[in-house]
Amino acid sequence: MYPTNIKMKKKDKRKVAKAVRGAIKAGIKENIKLFLNTKKFGRIILAKLHI
Amino acid sequence: MKKKIIKRAYWRKLDDQAKVFTLASNKKYSSIYRLSVLLKENIDKELLQKATELAISKYRAYKVKLKSGLFWYYFEENELLPVVSEEVDYPFKKINDKANNEYLFKVTYFHKKINLEVFHALTDGNGAILFLNEIVYRYLEMKYPNEIPEHKKEFRRMSEDTEDAYKKSYVKKRVKTKKIKKAYMLQGEELDKGEYGITHNIINLKELKEYARSIECSLSEYLVALIAYSIYETNYRIYNGKRPINISVPINLKKYIKTETISNFFSYMQVSIALKEKKVYTFDDVLILVKKEFEKKLILDKILSTITKDAGSTNNIFVRIVPLVLKKLAFRIGSMQVKRKFTTSFSNVGIVSVEDEYKPHVDGYFVILSPDWAEKIKCGIVSYENDIVVTFSTILKDNLVENKFKELLKERNISVRIEGNDLVDVSN
């Protein structure tokens, strides 16, 4: 009833991998920010160095 | 087990327009404006202090001081309370000093009047009116506890949103606009440093609206034309002006783009009145030119293009990575160039609405903008009930422009009442 064994095109694979990498990077960045925000010194660093 | 309460000092980034204001401000150009409310009885200092403290506890977005980072300024929570003081000097003195606990606004009073002076980086006129009204409401609730019903005190709607609404409004494709030319700068002897002449023109709103309608133009178009013509007659012609009279008209973007933010969200439109040297213009000629400019420039796409160009410049990666010290220098030089492109500013805060229960104690509102070396006269406008108040603030010794404005209104049988400070002659 449904097609099986659908192969993803190489181009699409790259796109997915790029999106995953981006999400991981953003996640790490966000988590570091959240962690720093819980510490007084961290908050000062974030405020002073925000770009 | 007792939970440990972690006290977090709050900090937040500035919105894009606030970044420009903080970088461009200096001793000569301060971007401060003043909103005043006139009550019907003399102000009680202690109650006003309490009212301000209660209001700031609700408007926590304004409970901040300005700190400098490596790349940008930022807002940090201010743990001290604002200090209310009596008005003893001319407006627009340094705002975030130690005496005021480094707040970016200042609350003063004089007889029946409460003043709120705000550094533009904190918020625009719209946000400031909400905050001033909150102070007034709190003050009146304490002064007349039996007159205001309880439900009015508790469920007053307010926004705590400080989103940078500019970020979502930038356009990818900018509409091409003509390069703004240098403007005519008002001439004349200046007052001493720190002195400002203030003239309030209290005009009957209904009469003015009806008159503007009768000649088929909007209220803003009509007022801008009156100001432009007053400048033309009393300054431009006398000093043989050659450059165009450019008037900056701020536009409240909260009307056009849905946002709950109480931070800055405005843009401006430049009304440029190019006058030919040998021709003598009448008021009607100037009005036609102003109407054409409004038609051409009061278009949302063009306004969004302007903010993308101006406030959006702070998002450029090359601008962002430059250290604050260098950025400040560059923006100050840049702002000097921009300021030369305007003769004056015309800022209409709009209609202020006050809740019915509080209305019997409120007499009126005023808006005063701080003039500077380039825009030697500025004009702030606010409407409340039956009056529209056009306030001129100037650093020029003569009041020819203000007097001409009043004359023009009187010639058209529009009722106008004049009030002012000690530096202006309001007798005639």
Going from the C-alpha of B377 to that of each of B102, B190, B382, the distances in angstroms are: 28, 11, 17
CATH code for the domain defined by B11-154 = 3.30.559.10
A6/B contact by beta carbon, under 8 A: no
Query: Helix crossing, A40-49 with A10-38: angle to 10°?
Result: 120
> Tokens 């008209």 belong to which residue?
B249
Whether A46 has its CB under 8 Å from any CB of chain B: the answer is: yes
Cα–Cα distance measured from residue B229 to residue B237, given in angstroms and rounded to the nearest whole number = 10
Could you report the per-residue pLDDT of B147-192, keeping only the tens digit for each? 877 777 766 666 667 777 777 777 766 666 677 789 999 999 999 9
Higher-confidence residue of B280 and B149: namely B280
Predicted ipTM > 0.90: no
> Cβ contact (<8 Å) for A43 and B67?
no
Query: Does the pLDDT value for residue B132 go beyond 60?
Result: yes
The first and second tokens of residue B303, run together, are 């306004």
Give B68→chain A minimum CA distance, Å: 7
CB B227 within 8 A of CB B379: yes
pLDDT value of residue B104: 92
pLDDT winner (highest mean) among A42-46, B235-239, B256-260, B380-384: B380-384
Nearest to B61 by CA among B266, B263, B264, B258: B263
Check whether B25 has a pLDDT greater than 90.
no
Distance between CA atoms of residues A37 and A35, nearest Å: 5
pLDDT of residue B2: 46
B197-420 has the same fold as B11-154: yes
What's the whole-number average pLDDT of chain A?
A: 84
Alpha carbons B261 and B395: distance in angstroms, whole number? 33
| pLDDT for residue B289 | 93
pLDDT at residue B6 tops 50: no
Q: Provide residues of B within 8 Å CB-CB of chain A.
A: 6, 8-9, 11, 13, 67, 69-72, 74, 76, 320-321
What are the structural domain ranges in chain B?
11-154, 197-420
Encoded amino acid at B169, one letter: S
Beta bridge partners of B351: B383
Q: How confident is the model at residue B202 (pLDDT cuts 50, 70, 90)?
A: very high
- Cβ within 8 Å, pair B72-A37: no
Question: 3-state class of B317 per DSSP?
Answer: helix
pLDDT (tens digit per residue) in A5-24: 666 777 888 888 999 999 99
Q: Which residues of B touch A49 (CB under 8 A)?
A: 69-71
Q: B182-186, B208-212, B261-265, B276-280: which range is least confident on average?
A: B276-280
CA dist B343 and B374 (Å) reads 7
- Could you tell me which residues come within 8 angstroms of residue B234 by beta carbon, excluding any fewer than 6 positions away? B400, B401, B403, B404
Burial class (CB in 10 A: 0-12, 13-18, 19+), B409: buried
pLDDT for the residue B359: 92
Residues of chain B with pLDDT > 90: what percent? 57
- Tokens found for residue B211: 């008159």
- Indicate the range of B252-266, B359-373, B396-410 predicted with least confidence: B252-266
Distance CA B338, CA B332 (A): 10
- Among chain B residues, CA nearest to A37: B8
Q: Rounded to whole angstroms, what are the CA distances from A17 to A11, A13, A14?
A: 10, 6, 5
> Does A50 reach chain B within 8 Å, measured CB to CB?
yes
**Residue to test with chain A: of B5, B8, B22, B65, most A Cβ within 10 A:** B8
Helix (H) or strand (E) holding B308: helix B300-309
Contacts of B320 (CB under 8 A, 6+ apart): A51, B71, B314
Whether chain B has a CB inside 8 Å of the CB on A47: the answer is yes
d(CA B169, CA B155): 31
Answer yes or no: is pLDDT of B427 > 70.
no
For B253, the token pair is 């973007």
Q: What is the pLDDT of residue B1?
A: 45
Of B9, B69, B76, the CB nearest to A49: B69
C-alpha to C-alpha distance for B45 and B42, rounded to whole angstroms: 9
Q: Do B6 and A38 touch (CB under 8 A)?
A: yes
Please indicate whether residue A33 or residue B137 has the higher confidence score (pLDDT). B137
Yes or no: domain B197-420 corresponds to CATH 3.40.50.720 = no
Query: Which of left, alpha, beta for B194 (phi over 0: left; psi -120 to 50: alpha)?
Result: left
Q: Do A51 and B71 touch (CB under 8 A)?
A: yes
Cross-chain residue pair A51–B321, CB shorter than 8 Å: yes
pLDDT digits (tens, 9 = 90+) for B285-338: 999 999 999 998 888 888 888 777 776 778 888 889 999 999 999 988 888 888
Contacts of B319 in chain A (CB under 8 A): none
Q: How far is B303 from chain A (nearest CA, A)?
A: 26
More confident residue, B171 or A44: A44
- Tokens 């440990």 found at: B4
- Are A40 and B9 a contacting pair at CB < 8 A? yes
Asked if A9 has any chain B CB less than 8 Å from its own CB, the reply is no
Q: Is the pLDDT of residue B52 over 90?
A: yes
> Which residues on neighbouring strands pair with residue B245, listed in sequence order?
B273
* Average pLDDT score over residue span B263-288: 88
Query: What are the chain B neighbours of A40 within 8 Å (beta carbons)?
Result: 9
Place of tokens 């707040």: B103
B381-409 pLDDT, tens per residue? 999 999 999 999 999 998 899 999 999 99
Torsion angle defined by CA atoms of residues B116, B117, B122 and B125, in that order, rounded to the nearest 10 degrees: 70
Report yes or no: A43 at the B interface, CB cutoff 8 Å.
yes
> How much is the mean pLDDT over chain B?
88
